[in-house]
Amino acid sequence: MGSRTVGDVLREVRELKERGTVQQALANYLRTYYLGRDSGKAQKQFNCEAAPVSEQVIEEIACELEEAAKEAVTFATTTLSEQYDE
């Protein structure tokens, strides 16, 4: 495996940041439409085997997406920093 160029690192960082952005947007979308708010009832619901998916499962997935988004941005920042340190 050859050494990475600055262009390679910049593309990798860009992709990681894009992934983080999409993951955060999906988490926000789940929370906005599929979790009940102060009014109580969610605007939409997922069904699995003809039964609604619990809000707890949806919340857990939203949290997982947010954590993945944070990790992607952190990794991108670390990757870029390491490249400059070399």
Q: Tell me: the pLDDT tens digits for 69-85?
A: 999 989 888 877 776 66
What is d(CA 71, CA 9) in angstroms, rounded to the nearest whole number? 17
What residue segments make up the domains of the chain, in order of their start?
A: 6-81
User: pTM here?
Assistant: 0.81
Contact 79, 9 (CB under 8 A): yes
DSSP three-state, residue 4: coil
Q: pLDDT tens-digit profile of 2-37?
A: 577 888 888 989 999 999 999 999 999 999 999 987
What is the per-residue pLDDT for 36? 85
Residue 61 pLDDT level (bands cut at 50, 70, 90): very high
